Amino acid sequence: MNQTTKQGLKKSPAKTRGAAMRAQKRNHDDADRAMERYADASQHQSRRTTDAADFTNALKVTFLGGLDDVGEKNMAIIEYGDEAIVLDCGNSLGIDLPGINYTVNDISYLEAIKYKLRAYVITHGHLDHIGGLRHTVPRYPAPIYGSPYTIKLVEKAFDDLLTDTGQEYTPVVMTAQLDTHETFTLSNSFSVEFLRITHSLPDAAAVCISTPVGRIIATGDFRLDPEPLDKMPSDTKRLKELGNQGVLLLLSDSSYADVEGRVPTESTLQQSFYDIIGNAPGRIFVAAFSSNMNRAQMIINAAVAAGREVALDGRGMMSYAEIAVRQGILKIPKGTVVSIQQAASITPNQLLVMCTGGQGEPNAALQRMSDGQHKYVNLNEGDTVVISSSPIPGNEVTYDQLSNRLKKIGVHLFRHPTHEVDGCGPLHVSGHARRGELREMLELVRPTFFIPVHAGALRRSYHAELGVEQGIPRRNVILPDNGDSVYITPDTVVDGGQVPHGSVLVDQNGGIVSGIVVKDRLMLSGEGILAVVLTMDKESGRLLTSPDIISRGFIAMKDNEDLMKHFRDELRRAAAQRYKRISLDEFKAEIREYVIHFMYEKTGRSPIVIPVVNVIGKASTNTAAAHKALRSDQHVKNDQQRYAAMRARLLTQDQRD
């Protein structure tokens, strides 16, 4: 049986140098695998079609993003001849990489076709459809077309660009009214009509793009709610008319293609909020998606009926609500809304706080309130918390972690997934169509060709089979991957190969971060870092000072003094044996390999090892000119003092024994 010492270090049988190096390689490989899905265009090989057909009169549709996951940086490019338009331009949130806020599409392909670009057509204002615009449009400018609410959100994104990064850019925008069937001419080859569609934020649109080859209908994110709270249902009549006239290609949301039935109408939720808010004692906190203004309207209606004032919190919620109020979408009686700064001074049974963070997002308002870290108001035992959402796929763990934390505080908790157990009515409906509505969309449009989009390979494959069931020939149902292009004529669809594509990583400040940097962060988070600083005398090859050892995320040196003493002794011996017989670069490489093997043998762990070698002394050379350049003893002494000062500064910043 192995004996365990401090910090979990084990006395184990000797490990070979090969095992140590294999452990290092495993660390690199693990980081590479974690980064694969976020690779940029330089790491994806383009693939050209081998078909020699003439595609001059074909429509080319290319997907840079939006096919791999739910909420994944939607972006497609539609080309005909020397003209092109971009359909949506989003980012991806929920990226589990250290120091990364979101990703956007690598737009290297746009560089190759920038002379063609005529317009950006945006279906709605969620970030996975507009979040990439501020990174793309300044480099490749063209007018942005969208509904009134969507365009205001786009303009707000560019205002934030100035605030976040100091970069000022004013895009050209064109606003489309959804109920007039107005058609915009984008170029000689393209025109677009926006159609009202129901989703989870105002003014969502399906778009009908007319081309010389035929019509394309892109649903955007949608559900077919016959009774939305705003009384603005999807324009199924116009969709059917377009289907009767003939639709070449349908691009349709697949997010819930694996769920039978239809999404319940959102109007069914209003009574649930009346019941909870009208009867709960003390303070009430309601977490909802910041963009869902119909949901916000229901919560405000119930708060007003219960005689409560409403404080809004969360940057996104404030932005969406402000625009919705200005456009008359969100209706709030005068005197209802107070600032979050005033919340602490309001009588508990007269206060409702509507905030973000229902998915357990780090640093969101509800998360900070539950941690006691909010600047103005924190949760207490006896408060009522309503989470008006289900976990987005991928957020299940953080959703439950938040719920557990809330129950430990002692709040009265109501959540949609457990609403029956919690003793209330439903608290959430999805903004994405289920299979019943997807069938209806296919029946309305009756396209020649069908490409399921959004939500990943599994759900798109379910949607594809649904298309076949609805009578579309299997050969006309296409399942491309991100980066793929297809050429479409009125009668055929041909593989168009693959274009440069991938992800660009963006940090909290809006700056671009290299994948190499993030890979290093992942490796550091796995086994930590060990820096070894050796100060060598050039002439004698002796160490001038004791080796400095700096550990971060590897072992606690003060708890492993015997190991550190042994390690220093071995470093002295290794340095003395190697320094005079090889070049400096070779010396560093051998020291690194030696340290990797030593630490793996002693600890079973393989950190990143960084050897730093400071060389002090006269340079040896046989040439007369070089002899004249030799430094005096005083210069050598100055060098020693300078390196000593550098060493002192380093050790005051880093851990040492």
Same domain for 189 and 113? Answer: yes
Q: Check: CB of residue 136 under 8 Å from CB of residue 110.
A: yes
In angstroms, what CA-CA distances link 560 with 64, 402, 563? 51, 37, 5
Does residue 517 lie in a domain region?
no
Instruction: Indicate whether 577 pLDDT > 90.
Output: no
The whole-number pLDDT of residue 51 equals 53
How does pLDDT run across 56-106, given as a tens digit for each residue?
Answer: 889 999 999 999 887 789 999 999 999 999 999 999 877 777 787 888 999
Q: Check: CB of residue 38 under 8 Å from CB of residue 95.
A: yes
Same domain for 446 and 410? Answer: no
Residues sharing a CB contact under 8 Å with residue 509, sequence separation 6 or more, in sequence order: 164, 165
Does residue 448 lie in a domain region?
yes
In angstroms, what CA-CA distances link 292 with 200, 379, 507? 5, 24, 26
How does pLDDT run across 415-443, given as a tens digit for each residue?
Answer: 999 999 999 999 999 999 999 999 999 99
Residue 5's pLDDT band, with cuts at 50, 70 and 90, is very low
Phi-psi sector, 348: left (phi>0), alpha (psi -120 to 50), beta: alpha
Does residue 152 lie in a domain region?
yes
Q: Check: CB of residue 173 under 8 Å from CB of residue 141.
A: no
Same domain for 155 and 276? Answer: no
Q: Which of 484, 512, 540 lies at the terminal end of a domain, its last residue?
A: 512
Same domain for 569 and 477? Answer: no
Instruction: Indicate whether 53 pLDDT > 70.
Output: no
The whole-number pLDDT of residue 508 equals 79
Q: Which residue has the tokens 């069908």?
A: 450
User: Which among 453, 474, 449, 475 is positioned nearest to 463, based on CA atoms?
Assistant: 453
The whole-number pLDDT of residue 164 equals 77
| Opening angle at CA 308, ends 302 and 313, nearest 5 | 90
Instruction: Indicate whether 631 pLDDT > 50.
Output: no
How does pLDDT run across 245-260, given as a tens digit for each residue?
Answer: 999 999 999 999 999 9
User: Which among 142, 220, 207, 146 is positioned nearest to 176, based on CA atoms?
Assistant: 146
Residues sharing a CB contact under 8 Å with residue 340, sequence separation 6 or more, in sequence order: 311, 312, 313, 353, 376, 377
The length of the chain is 657
Same domain for 396 and 443? Answer: no
Same domain for 452 and 365? Answer: no
470: domain CATH number?
Answer: 3.60.15.10
Instruction: Indicate whether 590 pLDDT > 80.
Output: yes
Q: Which of 365, 400, 422 lies at the terminal end of a domain, its last residue?
A: 422
Instruction: Indicate whether 7 pLDDT > 50.
Output: no
Same domain for 115 and 215? Answer: yes
The amino acid at residue 202 is P
Same domain for 410 and 292? Answer: yes
Separation between Cα atoms, residue 86 and residue 118, nearest integer Å:
8
Phi-psi sector, 307: left (phi>0), alpha (psi -120 to 50), beta: left
* Average pLDDT of the chain to the nearest whole number: 86
The amino acid at residue 217 is I
Does residue 469 lie in a domain region?
yes
Greater confidence (606 vs 134) lies with: 134
Residues of the chain with pLDDT > 70, as a percent, come to: 86
> Helices marked H in 486-632 — which ranges?
515-527, 561-578, 584-603, 624-628
Does residue 349 lie in a domain region?
yes
Average pLDDT of span 329-336: 92
Same domain for 105 and 157? Answer: yes
The whole-number pLDDT of residue 20 equals 64
Residue 45's pLDDT band, with cuts at 50, 70 and 90, is low
- Which positions are annotated as active-site residues? 253, 432
User: Which among 540, 502, 534 is positioned nearest to 643, based on CA atoms?
Assistant: 534
Greater confidence (540 vs 377) lies with: 377
Greater confidence (558 vs 374) lies with: 374
- The torsion angle over the Cα atoms of residues 29, 30, 34 and 40, rounded to 10 degrees, is -20
Does residue 519 lie in a domain region?
no
The whole-number pLDDT of residue 559 equals 84
Domain count, the chain: 3
How does pLDDT run across 225-237, given as a tens digit for each residue?
Answer: 988 888 899 999 9
The whole-number pLDDT of residue 651 equals 47
Q: What are phi and psi of 521, to 5 degrees?
A: -60, -40
Q: What are phi and psi of 30, to 5 degrees?
A: -60, -45
Same domain for 179 and 251? Answer: yes
Instruction: Indicate whether 52 pLDDT > 60.
Output: no
Side-by-side strand order, sheet with 484-488: 173-175, 144-146, 117-121, 83-87, 75-80, 59-65, 484-488, 493-498
Q: Which of 374, 404, 422 lies at the terminal end of a domain, its last residue?
A: 422
Element (DSSP H or E) covering residue 301: helix 293-305
Instruction: Indicate whether 49 pLDDT > 70.
Output: no
Phi-psi sector, 59: left (phi>0), alpha (psi -120 to 50), beta: beta
601: domain CATH number?
Answer: 3.10.20.580
In angstroms, how far is the first alpha carbon of the chain from the final one? Answer: 30
Most confident of 156-170, 350-364, 467-481: 467-481
Average pLDDT of span 144-171: 90
Instruction: Indicate whether 2 pLDDT > 70.
Output: no
Greater confidence (571 vs 62) lies with: 62
The whole-number pLDDT of residue 74 equals 95
Report helix angle 584-603 to 17-36, nearest 10.
90
Does residue 520 lie in a domain region?
no
How does pLDDT run across 94-121, given as a tens digit for each residue?
Answer: 777 778 788 899 999 999 999 999 999 9
Report helix angle 435-445 to 236-245, nearest 10.
40
The whole-number pLDDT of residue 623 equals 36
Separation between Cα atoms, residue 596 and residue 20, nearest integer Å:
6
CA contacts within 13 A on the Cβ side of 475: 5
Does residue 459 lie in a domain region?
yes
Average pLDDT of span 269-296: 94
The whole-number pLDDT of residue 315 equals 82
Separation between Cα atoms, residue 161 and residue 170, nearest integer Å:
10
The whole-number pLDDT of residue 630 equals 38
Q: Which domain holds residue 135?
A: 41-49+56-261+432-512
Average pLDDT of span 337-352: 93
The whole-number pLDDT of residue 31 equals 67
Instruction: Indicate whether 637 pLDDT > 60.
Output: no
366: domain CATH number?
Answer: 3.40.50.10710
Separation between Cα atoms, residue 296 and residue 223, nearest integer Å:
19
Residue 192's pLDDT band, with cuts at 50, 70 and 90, is very high
Same domain for 81 and 118? Answer: yes
Farthest-apart Cα atoms in the chain, separation: 96
Q: Check: CB of residue 222 under 8 Å from CB of residue 197.
A: yes
Separation between Cα atoms, residue 255 and residue 430, nearest integer Å:
10
Same domain for 385 and 452? Answer: no
Average pLDDT of span 619-644: 46
